[in-house]
Amino acid sequence: MNTCAVTGNAVADSRKKIRHALRAGTQQVIATGCWATLSPMDTAALSDAVQVVINEEKNSLVADFLGLPADEFHTGMIARRPLPGAHSRTRAFIKVQDGCDNHCTFCVTRLARGASSSVPMDEVLADIRAAQAGGTREVVLTGVNIQAWGLDLPGKPGLGDLLGILLADTNVPRLRLSSLEPWELEEDFFEVWRNSRMCQHLHLPLQSGSAGTLKRMVRKTTPENFRALVARARSVCPQIAITTDIITGFPGETDEEFAETLEFVRAMNFAAGHVFTFSARPGTAAARMKDQVPMKVRKARNAALREVLAESARAYREQFLGKVVSVLWESAQEQDKGWLMTGLTGQYLRVQAFSLENVWNQIQDVRLLEDGEKAMRGEILT
């Protein structure tokens, strides 16, 4: 069970999932991840059947459990195959980096993961080739702070260098980034999106649209710098989906600062976004700050921001109506005389269409006809 500690709700969910597994009759649960690392005694106290493996030991978890020497076993030996079924997944998530050297005052992940470390390029290539051999059509590069990839490697290559090599040395149809801190990127970083295999989607966590709030968060950006970064990306790829994260009710956030955030988010025309109510995490600087915002206010601001983001998301989707996009089908639901296919575009738009055949894990051209509540609807052209 890979636990999370990014918010109080995430800790509660982790605890709930472990208890659910135990109630279902599981004889042993190995708890790892951030909550297990930060609170190993609390985790182990859930049951005698719970074993804790902290993040530093996670890479050897499988070998240790099977009683194999670590040098004789590595996860690359396991084929990375798309997962069929009701909750199908066709993407392979390839971890290229872990840890973080930033000091955002709200973040507990840095405490749980330690300093930034990069996966060497040859190992990343090997993982992607293993995924392709298993049938994966889309690769998502993940990490705690993938923007820092390469800074601890010989020669200090950058993330742009990694993307260039992956596009040149593999033929994976789609390459996507999971999340990218919006600072310290090379001036020409976004040029790689001229390659059609790069998914037209960037997740850039903003956290606040107020300069004052960002300063207290110790984020290495300002609203002006963030706006300029997004403009650079859109100059290369005008219809790229820019999504983000926002925290509401950060300590000291005034009505005026929240109004600045609302206005900034409206102006940025995000394709989508996640809004988090501030959760004071033990051990972080923000948990010790004065002027904690009342929970009722935090939640009211959360609701207001969600409305703004929902409206901008609708506007982003509607520009694709009548257009042809490529969709990677992730799931297939059998119906009379055919299949209801569901998948994602490169812009991370969810699409449904009817097909006479089960075309799961295929990439097809689709004309988008209607914007639905849970997915856009279209017709398959190829």
CB 145 within 8 A of CB 170: no
Spatial separation of the C-alpha atoms in residues 32 and 335, rounded to whole Å: 40
Whether the CB-CB separation of 271 and 237 falls below 8 Å is answered with no
- The strand ranges marked E within 111-261 are 117-118, 138-142, 174-177, 201-203, 241-248
- Going from the C-alpha of 200 to that of each of 113, 238, 381, the distances in angstroms are 29, 9, 21
In this model, does residue 68 exceed pLDDT 90?
A: no
Asked if residue 90 has pLDDT above 90, the reply is no
For the stretch 38-57, pLDDT in tens is 999 999 999 999 999 999 89
Cα(212)–Cα(255) distance, integer angstroms: 12
pLDDT (tens digit per residue) in 197-227? 999 999 999 999 999 999 999 999 999 999 9
pLDDT at position 83 over 80: no
User: What type of residue is 122?
Assistant: D
Report the interhelical angle of 255-268 vs 295-318 (nearest 10°). 10
Task: Report pLDDT for 79.
Answer: 63
Asked if the domains at 79-318 and 324-380 fall in one CATH topology, the answer is no
pLDDT given for residue 216 in this prediction: 98
Q: Which CATH number fits domain 79-318: 3.80.30.20, 2.60.40.10, 3.30.70.930, 3.30.930.20?
A: 3.80.30.20
pLDDT tens string 1-40: 999 999 999 999 999 999 999 999 999 999 999 999 999 9
N- to C-terminal Cα separation, the chain: 41
Q: What does the pLDDT look like over 322-381, one tens digit per residue?
A: 999 999 999 999 998 999 999 999 999 999 999 999 999 999 999 999 999 899 999 999
Sign of CA dihedral 98, 99, 105, 108: positive
pLDDT given at position 59: 81
pLDDT for res 74: 63
How many Å separate Cα 142 from the centre of its chain?
7
* Mean predicted confidence (pLDDT) in 236-250: 97
Q: How far apart are CA 341 and CA 339, in angstroms?
A: 6
DSSP for 221-253, written as a single string: --HHHHHHHHHHHHHH-TT-EEEEEEEES-TT-
**What is the enclosing helix (H) or strand (E) of 31?**
strand 29-32
DSSP 8-state class, residue 83:
B
Q: What is the pLDDT of residue 313?
A: 97
What fold does the segment set 324-380 form as a domain? OB fold (Dihydrolipoamide Acetyltransferase, E2P) (2.40.50)
Which residues contact residue 232 at a Cβ distance below 8 angstroms, ignoring those fewer than 6 apart? 187, 189, 190
Domain range list for the chain: 2-72, 79-318, 324-380
Burial of 147 (0-12, 13-18, 19+ CB in 10 A): buried
pLDDT exceeds 90 at position 71: no
For residues 152 and 37, give the distance between their C-alpha atoms in angstroms, rounded to a whole number. 24
Decide if pLDDT at 300 tops 60. yes
Tokens of 369: 């006809």
Average pLDDT for the chain: 94
The dihedrals phi and psi of 174, each to the nearest 5 degrees, come to: -135, 135
pLDDT value at residue 248: 98
Average pLDDT (270-294) is: 96
Give CA–CA dist 315/231, Å, rounded: 18
CA separation for the pair 99, 145 (Å, rounded)? 7
Task: Tell me the β-bridge partners of 335.
Answer: 338
pTM as predicted: 0.91
pLDDT surpasses 90 at 63: no
Q: pLDDT digits over 153-195, tens only?
A: 999 999 999 999 999 999 999 999 999 999 999 989 999 999 9
The Cβ-side half-sphere exposure at 109, using a 13 Å CA radius, reads: 16
- For the chain, what percent of residues have pLDDT higher than 70? 96
